[in-house]
Each structure stands twice: as C-alpha cells, then as structure tokens.
Amino acid sequence: MASTKISLDQLKHIAHLARLEIDSKKESMLVDQLSETADYIDILQTIDTKNISPTFQTHGQKNVTRADVVEKSFTQEEALSQAPETYNGYFKTKATISKK
C-alpha cells in the first residue's frame, strides 16, 4: 500500500459508506486522528503471515444453526413499541426509491 494517510476525499468516501454526516468543522481533526491510527496499525504489514490462516472465531464453533421451528416472538405491538414513527402497524422509513 502506498500511503496510509487518510485524505479529506477518503474521509468523505468513508463517511458516505458509513452513512455518517461529518460536521465540516470536525473534518480536519478526523483526518488527523484517523491517519494517526492508520499509521499505527501499519505495524501489521511488517509481520510475515504467509501460510497462516486467519482466526475469525476463537473457540472453533462453526455454522451453528437451530431447528427450523417457529417460536413465540414479539407481538406486533411490542415490536413497534420503540419505533420513532409507525404507520398502520408498520415501521415508517424514508423512501429508498425516489419519484421521477
């Protein structure tokens, strides 16, 4: 990898991916802080991991499933009880497809 420094453009790209709106007053501070952390984690590139498998799970359990049986769950009322906005018994979301 070339440079680990995170640029302002990169910061904006990451913020978009993470669905975060970054206050413009905080942008330069975040660029510095993320670059500092990115510099630190670069130490990982100095370690030889050829033929080493990654560990995603420390005790080795794999593909855990349960029986495909319907269990008692929340009522509709309970499920909706914490929603900021509901409509006719549904969660209310913003439109994801805009009108032409």
Partner 1 sequence: MDLNKLTLIEAVKGIKEKKFSSTEVTLDCLSNIEKLEPTLNAFVTVDSKNVLEKSKKVNFDLPLAGAPIAIKDNFCTKGIKTTASSNLLRNYTAQYSATVVKKLEDAGAIIIGKTNLDAWAHGSSTETSDFGPTKNPWNPKFLPGGSSGGSAAAVASDEVVTSIGSETAGSIRLPAAWCGVVGLKPTYGRVSRYGVIAMGSSMDCPGPITKTVDDAALILSIISGHDQKDATSIPKPSWQIPNSLKDLKGLKIGLPKAYFPDKILPEVKKSIFGAVETLKKLGAQIIELDVLDPKYSIAVYTVIQRSEVSSNLGRYTGIRYGANRSTFGDEAIRRIMLGTHTLSSGYYDAYYLQAQKVRTLIIQDFDKQFQKVDAIIGPSSPTTALPLGATLGQSMFGELADMLVEPSTLAGLPGISIPCGFANGLPIGLQIITPQLREDLAIQIARCFESNTDYHLQHPKI
**Contact positions toward partner 1, by CB under 8 A?**
1, 6, 10-11, 14-15, 17-22, 26, 30, 32-34, 36-38, 40-41, 43-45, 47, 49, 52-59, 61, 64, 66, 74, 78-79, 81-84, 91-93
Least distance to partner 1, CB of residue 28, Å: 13
Contact 35, 5 (CB under 8 A): yes
Alpha-carbon distance of 58 to 91, in angstroms, equals 37
Alpha-carbon distance of 88 to 15, in angstroms, equals 33
* Structure-token match 């993320």, residue found: 34
Please, which residue, 55 or 98, has the CB nearer to partner 1?
55
